[in-house]
Amino acid sequence: MISSRTVLVFLVGLLVSTGCGGPPTGPAPDAGLGGGTGGGSAPAGAIVLGVAGPMTGDLAQVGKMMERGAKMRVDEVNAKGGIGGRKVELEVGDDTGNPKEASTVAQKFASNPAVLAVVGHYNSSCSLAGKPIYKEAGLVEFSSGSTNPTVCEGSDWTFRNIYRDDFQGQMLARYAKQHMGAARVAVFYDNDDYGIGLKTAFEEEAKKIALEVVAAQSYERDTVDFRPQLSTFMAKRPDVILVSGLFSQAAKIASQARESGLAVPLLGGDGVFSDEYIKNAGAAAENTYVSTPFLFELGGERARAWHGDFKKAFGAEPDAWAVLAYDAAALLLQGVEKAGATRKAVRDYVAAIDSKEKAFPGLGGATYFDKNGDCLKPVHMALVKGSKFVPAPKQMN
C-alpha cells in the first residue's frame, strides 16, 4: 500500500522534473518573427501547417476550437511578414474522431511535401492510427488532446503538450476520495483507447487509496440508451459516477441518470470538458466535476488577454483545446523560423526542448518534453455551476 503522502511527493516530483508548470513568465513566442528560417533556405512557396481533428460529427466543437486556435497563431505570424518572407497556410484534415479517417488524413498530410508539421489529433485512437504514417513520412504529429499513455511511445515524431491518462486517472481518483468524499464509485467508460486508458489508471489508483469501484460498464460511441447500466449502478449505491469518455455520451448519461433518480455527483475526465456537454445535458449537467488541462481563470493575464482577442476574431468563447492548439502551432512555427523549413529541422527543434530551462512559454504553461515526447501538465478541476464551467472550489495542484 502506498500512502497518500508518498503518492503526493511522487506526483509533485513528476511535475518538477518532467513536465510543465503554471502560467509562463518567459517571453512570448513572437520574438524573431519575420526574419530568416534559421536554415538559410531562400523564400519559396507557402509553409503549410496541418491541423487534424474532428471537424464534423458529434465532436465537431472540439475540432473547430483546435482549428481556430491554430489559425490564431498562423494569422499572427503572417501579420508580421510570415517566416523568411514566406506565407504560412493552414491545411485542415477532418478525421471525424474515427481512426480510419485519421489514417486517411495522415496519408494526405504525409504525401504533401509542403506540410512541415501537424497539430493533432484530438482523439487518442486517431493519434495512434496516424502515428505509424507520420513516423514513416518523417512528419511531426503534435497532439494537444490525446492522453492515452501509449500515444508517444515508439515514435520520435510524435509529441504532445497535454498530460497522460495515467497521471490524469490518478488525480481523478484522489479528487473523488479527498475532495468529493467518495467511498464508492461506479464507472462508465468508452470502449476506445481514451476511455479504457483513463478508466484503468483510475481503478489502479483507487485500489491504492481504498476507493471502491463498485461497478464498471463499457459503451460504444453510438450508444444512446444508458438506462440498463444506470439501473445496475443504482443497486450498487455509488457516491460518485465517473464518466471515462467524451462529452457527447456524457451528456446522455447525465440526463438519463437524473431521469432515473440517480442524483449523485458526476465526475469526468477532460473528454467531458466542453460547453457542448452543458448545452446537451441542460440542468442535468449541474454539479459535474471534470478535469481539464487549462482554465482561463487560472491562466494569468496573458491568457486572459488572448481570450479577448480570440473572441473578437471568431465571435466565440475559446476553450482549453483552442489554447493548446494555439500553443502547438506557435511552437512548431517557431521551430520552422529558428531551425529551418524542413520536417526534420522542426522535429529536431521540438525534441531539443528537453528541460525546464529550455521550456517553451505557452499560454497553457511552460512546455518541455521527455525522451518519449511526453509533457506532464497539471490537472485542473472545473465544476458546472450556473450552466457554465467554473474552477472547482478545491484544486489538486
Average pLDDT, the chain: 91
Residues 236-254: pLDDT tens digits? 999 999 999 999 999 999 9
The CA dihedral of 236, 240, 244, 250, to the nearest 10 degrees, is: 100
Co-location of 77 and 157 in the same domain: yes
Co-location of 53 and 37 in the same domain: yes
Task: Give the pLDDT of residue 376.
Answer: 78
Please report whether residue 392 resides in a domain. Answer: no
Using a cut of 0.85, tell me whether the model's pTM lies above it. Answer: yes
Task: Give CA–CA dist 266/3, Å, rounded.
Answer: 26
Please report whether residue 90 resides in a domain. Answer: yes
Co-location of 147 and 255 in the same domain: no
13: Cβ–Cβ under 8 A, 6 or more apart, which residues? Answer: none
- Which structural domain, as residue segments, surrounds residue 14? 4-163+298-378
Co-location of 205 and 304 in the same domain: no
Task: Give the pLDDT of residue 30.
Answer: 54
Co-location of 125 and 193 in the same domain: no
Co-location of 276 and 135 in the same domain: no
Instruction: Classify residue 31 as exposed, middle or buried by CB count within 10 Å of its CB (0-12, 13-18, 19+).
Output: exposed
Tell me the torsion sign for CA atoms 193, 198, 201, 206: negative
Co-location of 285 and 335 in the same domain: no
Co-location of 87 and 131 in the same domain: yes
Co-location of 247 and 359 in the same domain: no
Residues 28-74: pLDDT tens digits? 455 444 433 333 343 479 999 999 999 999 999 999 999 999 999 99
Task: Give the pLDDT of residue 352.
Answer: 98
Nearest to 206 by CA among 189, 188, 182, 234: 182
CATH of the domain at 176: 3.40.50.2300
Co-location of 234 and 361 in the same domain: no
Residues 176-230: pLDDT tens digits? 999 999 999 999 999 999 999 999 999 999 999 999 999 999 999 999 999 999 9
Q: Is 198 within 8 Å of 168 (Cβ atoms)?
A: yes
Please report whether residue 230 resides in a domain. Answer: yes
Please report whether residue 184 resides in a domain. Answer: yes
Task: Give CA–CA dist 11/23, Å, rounded.
Answer: 19
Buried b (16+ CB within 10 A) or exposed e, 103-112: bbbbeebbee
End of a domain among 230, 260, 292? Answer: 292
Q: Is 67 within 8 Å of 108 (Cβ atoms)?
A: no
Q: Is 169 within 8 Å of 124 (Cβ atoms)?
A: no
Q: Is 31 within 8 Å of 22 (Cβ atoms)?
A: no
Task: Give CA–CA dist 377/163, Å, rounded.
Answer: 5
Please report whether residue 191 resides in a domain. Answer: yes
Task: Give the pLDDT of residue 377.
Answer: 82
Task: Give CA–CA dist 95/63, Å, rounded.
Answer: 9
Angle value at C-alpha 103, between 97 and 105, nearest 5 degrees: 80
Please report whether residue 385 resides in a domain. Answer: no
Co-location of 244 and 260 in the same domain: yes
Please report whether residue 152 resides in a domain. Answer: yes
Query: Hey, what's the cell of 53?
Result: 481533428
Residue 344's H or E segment, with its range, is helix 343-351
Q: How many CA atoms lie within 13 A of 100 on its CB side?
A: 0
Instruction: Classify residue 224 as exposed, middle or buried by CB count within 10 Å of its CB (0-12, 13-18, 19+).
Output: exposed
Residues 273-310: pLDDT tens digits? 999 999 999 999 999 999 999 999 999 999 999 999 99
End of a domain among 292, 323, 346? Answer: 292
Count up the domains in the chain and report the number: 2
End of a domain among 235, 260, 292? Answer: 292
Co-location of 12 and 127 in the same domain: yes
The DSSP code for 82 is -
Please report whether residue 389 resides in a domain. Answer: no
